Amino acid sequence: MSGRRLFTTPARRAAVAPLLWMLLFFLLPFGFVLKISLSQTVIAQPPYVPVFDPAQGMAALKAAFATLSLENFRLLAADHLYILSYLRSIVVALISTAILLAVGYPVAYGMSRLPARWQPIAMILVIVPFWTSFLIRVYAWINILQHDGILNKTLLALHVVSAPVVWLSTDTAMYIGIVYSYLPFMILPLYATLAKIDTTLLEASADLGGSRLATFWLVTFPLSLPGVGAGALLCFIPIVGEFVIPDLLAGSRSPMIGQTLWLEFFTNRDWPVASAIAIVLLVLLLAPLLVYERMQRRQLEGRR
Amino acid sequence: MKHLSRFNITSLTLGLAFLYLPIVVLVIYSFNASRLVTVWGGWSLRWYAEFFNDAAMLSAAAMSLRVGVVSATAATILGTLAAVALTRGESFRGRTLFSGMLYAPLVMPEVITGLSLLLLFVAVNAERGFWTVTIAHTTLTMCFVTVVVQSRLGSLDRSLEEAAMDLGCDPLRAFLKVTLPLILPSVAAGWMLAFTLSMDDLVIASFTTGPGSTTLPIRIYSEVRLGVKPEINAICTLIIGSIALVIIAASLASKLSSRQGESAAPL
């Protein structure tokens, strides 16, 4: 019996249920987002027209198509609020990813240099906070950063500052929250590539007279670039659409796009505009999403 | 060359301190007797008592537990099937689409996933509540299960399955008798990851839930927006404590089964 064909046909059958599930609950919903982004807002339930009624057949479908419009997208392009919101999200995500790399790389590097039997322990220590609730971790920072919180008390006691500093509702608080929440996502892919680097290469570099620093920049760092890419994408893409962290920690002056979408949807009940925001966000993230998907596929399926 | 420099030790220590300090602070203050969150009034369990008398919070917790158990179970079945298809079914039509649909939700901003699922539920006129949140969580978490199980299946020695089939097992039996017991630790890890993700989700649940079906994160979020409350610290400590118990149990279980091969991927 050929090992290569092992399981092939039954394994294909195994794909049926998850494939149908994802088509129905992941792909198909985007069709509805697109459709409603082309609809108009009304004060009704559901709050948009046209509502396609399949019972009326093709005529209704044609009529529904005729009323679709690009009005919501024109609104997004014309209103500075939305454009600024998108820009801010991308800038925040870029800055956060850079900070995450700067913080995560030394930690991942330190982990990969640990004696082999300590490495799994260090890895568990990095993962455990990831398993504790995201919301709780953001909330924990409110405890620390609030006006009479631990941070201000410590700073006052150490005479670093003479009056309490405003931390909450600032960009600083938001960046702290983002870096804190996403740090495991940065460290783990970095560690995975750093731990795989063949140490004989480092020895060879040292034997050839390379200093520790030269070895790092000329050998270790280039070899760790796949991990850098994976970690950066794993953080950048979700941060662009982040809602909870900016909502709880940042000020409300300039919302990120996730907050704007939330506001349009829940507060203004403008579903068509919220859908249009989602479609544009999806288009913006399409390129990084595709790169991420390819990396994920190569990493998970390339090891055979 | 495995030299542990002072720089490495410092960065590791600082990194781990940064990850744990906020949680430690939160846990300590949950035992604070004072109503003022920032003033230390001695040790007390009063906020835990407060939580167990808070009917709305308790019913939200019960709702989250139900959603978590049902969605994690469905996600584990679907995700394991998907992982088997991706690692054992060499090629089939739509495979790229299939894997793309499974990897994209891992990084997709939650506001997009939540909004799109809600619009689907509205379009088919589904009553929003327990089932819509459960379906939404299953969709999200099955992708994580797929990745966890897939990385284990990929590193599994296939000669064992081949031997079973050479000895007359049909593929299904070979899978159930040989493969499944070997990947069971990672399937269990997948279930627990799915469960924690479901218990944790605020954004997708907010979109897909209906009146009367508030989950714990939604409830906590609406309280947190109004400021820090000691009762929330107590609830968070309870959640962290139960997750820590689960992780300890899981690592003990994987230690027991580690003789069967390398342990499951953690994420």
Please write the tens of the pLDDT for every residue from A71-94.
Answer: 888 888 888 889 999 999 999 999
Comparison of pLDDT for A210 and B67, the residue scoring more:
B67
User: Which residues from chain B sit within 8 angstroms of residue A271, using beta carbons?
Assistant: 119
The burial of B6, by beta-carbon neighbours within 10 Å (0-12 exposed, 13-18 middle, 19 or more buried), is given as: exposed
CB atoms within 10 A of CB A225: 10
Residue of A nearest to B100 (CA): A293
Cα–Cα distance measured from residue A121 to residue A143, given in angstroms and rounded to the nearest whole number: 28
User: Which residues from chain B sit within 8 angstroms of residue A129, using beta carbons?
Assistant: 19-20, 23
Residues A164-186 as b or e (16 or more Cβ within 10 Å = b) = eeebbbebebbbbbbbbbbbbbb
Looking at the partner chain, which of A7, A15, A262 has a beta carbon nearest the beta carbon of B92?
A15
Structure confidence by residue, pLDDT tens digits, A145-157: 888 788 888 888 8
Instruction: Assign A3 a pLDDT band (cuts: 50, 70, 90).
Output: very low
Domains of chain A: 70-301 (1.10.3720.10)
Q: What DSSP letter does each residue of B87-148 carry, written as one string?
A: HHS---TTHHHHHHHHHHHHHS-HHHHHHHHHHHHHHTTPPPSHHHHHHHHHHHHHHHHHHH
Phi, psi of B177 (to 5 degrees): -90, -30
CA distance B62 to chain A (A): 17
The burial of B144, by beta-carbon neighbours within 10 Å (0-12 exposed, 13-18 middle, 19 or more buried), is given as: buried
Cα–Cα distance measured from residue B180 to residue B147, given in angstroms and rounded to the nearest whole number: 16
User: Which residues from chain B sit within 8 angstroms of residue A274, using beta carbons?
Assistant: 115
What pLDDT does residue B90 have?
64
Q: CB B171 to CB A281 under 8 A?
A: no
Q: CB A15 to CB B85 under 8 A?
A: yes
Looking at the partner chain, which of B12, B120, B240 has a beta carbon nearest the beta carbon of A32?
B120
Given a cut of 70, whether residue B15 has pLDDT beyond it is: yes
Mean pLDDT over A194-207 rounds to: 84
**Over chain A, what HEC string results?**
CCHHHCCHHHHHHHHHHHHHHHHHHHHHHHHHHHHHHCCEECCCCCCEECCCCHHHHHHHHHHHHHCCCCHHHHHHHHCHHHHHHHHHHHHHHHHHHHHHHHHHHHHHHHHHHCCCCCHHHHHHHHHHHHHCCHHHHHHHHHHHHCCCCHHHHHHHHCCCCCCCCCCCCCHHHHHHHHHHHHHHHHHHHHHHHHHHCCHHHHHHHHHCCCCHHHHHHHHHHHHCHHHHHHHHHHHHHHHHCCCHHHHHHCCCCCCCHHHHHHHHHHHCCCHHHHHHHHHHHHHHHHHHHHHHHHHHHHHHHCCC
What pLDDT does residue A232 have?
94
Nearest C-alpha neighbor of A126 from the set B149, B33, B15: B15
> Mean pLDDT over all residues of chain A?
84
CA distance A38 to chain B (A): 13
SS3 B225: coil
Prediction pTM value: 0.86
Cα–Cα distance measured from residue A189 to residue A230, given in angstroms and rounded to the nearest whole number: 6
DSSP B249: H
Q: CB B240 to CB A296 under 8 A?
A: no
Task: Tell the residue number behind the tokens 């948009």, with chain if given.
Answer: A48
Residue of B nearest to A295 (CA): B103
With a CB cutoff of 8 Å and minimum separation 6, the contacts of A134 are A181, A244, B200, B202
Q: CB A140 to CB B155 under 8 A?
A: no
Structure confidence by residue, pLDDT tens digits, A14-57: 888 999 999 999 999 998 899 888 887 766 666 676 666 656 66
Number of Cβ pairs closer than 8 Å across A and B?
308
Distances, alpha carbon B144 to alpha carbons A135, A156, B248, in Å: 19, 44, 20
Structure confidence by residue, pLDDT tens digits, A157-178: 888 888 888 888 888 999 999 9
DSSP B176: I
Q: What's the angle, vertex CA B256, arms to CA B191 and CA A116, rounded to 5?
A: 95
Q: CB A304 to CB B154 under 8 A?
A: yes
What pLDDT does residue A303 have?
47
Q: CB A18 to CB B82 under 8 A?
A: yes
CA distance B99 to chain A (A): 7
Conformational region of residue B80, where left means phi above 0, alpha means psi within -120 to 50, and beta covers everything else: alpha
Cα–Cα distance measured from residue A131 to residue A178, given in angstroms and rounded to the nearest whole number: 16
Looking at the partner chain, which of B22, B78, B217 has a beta carbon nearest the beta carbon of A140?
B22
What pLDDT does residue A161 have?
83
Mean pLDDT over B77-99 rounds to: 83
Residue from A143, A185, A203, A235 whose CB has the most chain B CBs within 10 Å, to mutate: A143
Instruction: Quote the ipTM score.
Output: 0.85
Please report, as a single letter, which amino acid is at residue A53: D
Task: Tell the residue number behind the tokens 């679907």, with chain if given.
Answer: B78
The residues facing B32 across adjacent strands are B43
Mean pLDDT over B241-254 rounds to: 77
Looking at the partner chain, which of A113, A124, A258 has a beta carbon nearest the beta carbon of B111?
A258
- The fold adopted by the segment(s) B54-260 is MetI-like fold (1.10.3720)
